[in-house]
Chain A
Amino acid sequence: MGKLSNKKLLLLGERDGVPGPSMEACLKDTAAEVVFSATECFV
């Protein structure tokens, strides 16, 4: 059981950093549920 088991993940990515979908792809195998994933941009 990982540390993220049963957690609800709120992913706040950034276009010039790590975007939401990239984090989602890396975390999809954990026992946590991604509640939402967003990518903000500051331009």
Chain B
Amino acid sequence: MDLQNQQRVKDAAEKYGAENCVVILGSSDAEGAEIYAETVTIGDPTFAGPLAGVSLGLPVYHIFDEAIRTECNPEEWENHISMMEMVLEPEELAAAVKNIREQHSKESL
């Protein structure tokens, strides 16, 4: 994850409390989604950014996870996301993030 975004995630967790934050990913591949999910739960796996060694344990979901999808405005979903939903592997992406969440997030929805 971009170092600047790692800092923004860290700042938000400190400002609002990790229990009040939810990270939602729009990653296109499962491997990338897992790295993002690890970064916001157990810390930056590359040890390069502000989240290196920082275990925030944030609840993390892929946008394709049913828990998030059901909260979205259906019309906006159709306009903005349905095309990518057909091209990508939504179940695989949601499952990859769920796997990390169940192991490392301190909270979930």
Interface size in chain B (residues, C-beta < 8 A): 35
User: Is B72 engaged at the interface, CB distance under 8 Å to the other chain?
Assistant: yes
Q: Is the CB of B26 within 8 A of A19?
A: yes
Smallest CB separation, A26 vs chain B (Å): 4
Q: Give the B-binding residues of A (Cβ under 8 A).
A: 2-4, 6-14, 16-23, 25-30, 32, 35-36, 38-40, 42
Smallest CB separation, A8 vs chain B (Å): 5
User: Is B55 engaged at the interface, CB distance under 8 Å to the other chain?
Assistant: no
Q: Given the known inter-chain contacts A28-B73, A35-B16, please indicate yes or no for A23 contacting B24, CB distance below 8 A.
A: yes
Majority SS of interface residues in chain A? mixed
Q: Is the CB of B12 within 8 A of A3?
A: no
Inter-chain contacts of A11 with B (CB < 8 A): 24, 26
